[in-house]
Amino acid sequence: MIGSPEILLQWWDEYKAHVDANPDSIEEATGKGVMVRKVKKPYLRQGFEAWCFRNKNLDVHHYLDQSDESYSNFRGVVTCMRKEWEDDQIGGTMTGRYKAPNLTARLNGITDNQNTKTEGIQKITIERVSQDKD
C-alpha cells in the first residue's frame, strides 16, 4: 500500500529519472560504418507499472485505474502522471524523437476519422473499336 499521493508522485519521478538515465541504443549504417546512437525511451504507463513492481514490490495498477473510491485521493497525482506520459509520447512523436505515430495515437486514444465512404458505384463501359484494314 502506498502511504500518500506524494509517495506515488515521487516514484513516478524516480521512474522518469531511470528512463532518462537508460536510453536505448540504435545501430545505424553510415558511410563510415555502423554507428551506435543513443535514443531516449518514452515514458509509459506499462513501464512505470513494471518498474514499481520490480523496485517497490508493489502492483500499482489499482492506483492508476482508480478502480474504486479507496484510491480517490490519488486522482490528482495520477492525472498529472497521465498528462506527463501523454505529453512525452505525443510531443516526442511530433518532434521526431519517436518514430511511431500510429502507435502513439493508439496508446493515447487519438483518432483521425476520415470519411472514405463512396455514395455509389460509377459504371464504366469500355467498347472495343475495330481496326479494319482497307
What is the CATH number that goes with domain 5-107?
1.10.132.80
Stated pTM of the model: 0.71
CA 56 – CA 122 distance, rounded (Å): 64
* Strand, coil or helix: 10: helix
Per the model's pLDDT, the better-predicted residue between 6 and 70 turns out to be 6
Residue whose grid cell is 509509459:
44
Q: Domain spans of the chain? A: 5-107
Q: Tell whether the model's pLDDT for residue 134 goes beyond 60.
A: no
Q: What is the pLDDT of residues 72-82, one digit of tens each?
A: 999 999 999 99
Cβ 8 vs Cβ 74: under 8 Å: yes
Amino acid (one-letter) located at 33: G
Cα four-point dihedral sign 46, 13, 65, 4? positive
Q: What is the pLDDT of residues 104-120, one digit of tens each?
A: 666 666 665 555 565 66
Q: What is the pLDDT of residues 2-61, one digit of tens each?
A: 999 999 999 999 999 999 999 999 888 888 899 998 988 999 999 999 999 999 999 999
